Amino acid sequence: MSSQLAGVWHALEDKVAQGWAPGMVAGIRHGGETEFFATGVRTLGRPEPMRADTPFRIASLSKPIAGALAVSMIADGSLSPDDPADIWLPELAYPRVLTSPGAPLEHTVAAEHDITVRQLLTLTHGLGVSLEDTPLARAVAAAGLLPGARPLPMAPDDYMARIGALPLAHQPGTRWSYHIGSDILSVLIARAGQAPLGDILRERITGPLGMASTGFTGNPAELPTAYEWTTAGPSVFDGPEGMFSRPPGTESLGGGLVSTVPDYMAFLAALADDTLLPPDLRALMTSDQLNDSQKAGLDGMLDPGTSWGWQVSVEPGGRYGWTGGTGTTAYVDPEKDVIGVLFTQRLMSGPDEDFGYFWKPLAAALG
């Protein structure tokens, strides 16, 4: 343990000692040196300790990997950002759009443009999480399409049939809406690649980077228990032999991956060092790709000043990364030459929850 990062590791130990979470694992790369740290246990009441290589359900930290996977296919010509998505997803052909986001489902008009690959990358295709109680929001929930920390139970064709049966809330390309575009993009990648998504992921990302512990299922002998915190205390959300110990119905990079901190650090390091993707495309992926009208959808979801690239959040100064609802966070800060990754097993309570107990000590340690 380096003396420079000792304060960060002590902060994590204190957080676990306070009962905030049973355990956590972190990794930091700064100035070319990488350290990992683990504290706590994998399951409350049991002695198995967290290890640096413990696998976690990483939820929406899957999204940056979706972006990189799509970019790798753009780089070799398998995809183009302006390709109509219905080339591979006929369920999205001739979409209908609500006359207003809160309108009854039958009040629609024809879409003015095709849905494109670019719009799925930027989450601007017209359908996503709604913070309002609308007929469309209720229909999305009834169809089992709400984002969450659970894998999609239905098969990909069934998923797309449910998506295709719904109108869009916004005209394609006009407004950012969270998450659903990531699940759709995952099906598109598999169909464009003519192989299961997991196979394409191994061929293009996890295999070349040696991310042997990253995939859509975890070993129940190693998975920690995931918890939701209520006023009564911790409640089990998913056990080691639960949802993530078996294959999902649809392999999705919207939120379906299991990974380890060293694996995810290898992924972010390859992005930061431009060894995974062509530098010009990586720069597009990790820079602001939204116009002002599209950014209206960010309110209530992202911090002021934060925007969206291709499946990744981007901040002024060049910092990029994201968080996951299962209690995970990871960012690259090129200006400060630092990459930080933190995985916990405590589900986030909402978009207002942050990881200041990790990022603030890290900023202090780096001066």
pTM of the entire predicted model: 0.97
pLDDT tens by residue, 196-242: 999 999 999 999 999 999 999 999 999 999 999 988 889 999 999 99
Nearest residue to 210 via CA among 265, 251, 161, 143: 265
- CA-CA distance, 317 to 303, in Å (whole number)? 14
Return the domain boundaries, the chain.
Answer: 6-61+196-366, 70-193
Measured over the CA atoms of residue 163, residue 169, residue 171 and residue 172, the dihedral's sign is negative
Residue 34, both tokens: 């990488």
- The percent of residues above 90 in pLDDT, for the chain, comes to 93
- Topology alike, domains 6-61+196-366 and 70-193: yes
> What is the C-alpha to C-alpha distance for residues 241 and 150, in angstroms, rounded to an integer?
14
DSSP 289-302: ---TTGGGGGTTTS
Whether 329 contacts 321, CB under 8 Å: yes
Query: Which residue, among 253, 232, 112, 231, has the nearest Cα to 173 in the 3D structure?
Result: 112
CATH 3.40.710.10 for domain 70-193, yes or no, is yes
- The CB density around residue 351, as the number of other CB atoms within 10 Å, is 15
Share of the chain above pLDDT 70, in %: 99
Asked if 134 contacts 167 with a C-beta cutoff of 8 angstroms, the reply is no
pLDDT higher than threshold 90 for residue 353: no
Task: Please report, as a single letter, which amino acid is at residue 365.
Answer: A
Residue bearing tokens 């790798």:
72
* Torsion of Cα atoms, 121 then 123 then 125 then 130, to 10°: 160
Collapsing DSSP states into helix, strand and coil, what is residue 86?
A: helix
Using CA atoms in the order 351, 355, 357, 361, what is the torsion angle rounded to 10 degrees? -140
pLDDT per residue as tens digits for the range 76-132:
999 999 999 999 999 999 999 999 999 999 999 999 999 999 999 999 999 999 888
What mean pLDDT is reported for the chain?
Answer: 96
Mean pLDDT of 54-58: 98
**Closest by alpha carbon to 126, among 98, 150, 161?**
98
pLDDT band at residue 1 using 50, 70 and 90 as cut-offs? low
Could you give the CA distance from residue 243 to residue 256 in angstroms, rounded to a whole number? 10
Q: What are the DSSP E strand ranges found in the chain?
A: 23-30, 33-40, 56-57, 96-98, 108-110, 226-230, 233-238, 258-259, 307-308, 313-314, 320-324, 328-333, 338-344
pLDDT-derived band at 354, boundaries 50, 70, 90: confident
* Secondary-structure breakdown of the chain: helix, strand, coil percentages, each rounded to the nearest 5: 35, 20, 50
116-161 pLDDT, tens digit each: 999 999 999 999 998 889 999 999 999 999 888 899 999 999 999 9
CATH architecture of 6-61+196-366: 3-Layer(aba) Sandwich (3.40)
How does pLDDT run across 306-349, given as a tens digit for each residue?
A: 999 999 999 999 999 999 999 999 999 999 999 999 999 999 98
CB 72 within 8 A of CB 275: no
Residue that has been written with the tokens 């995974």 in this structure = 276
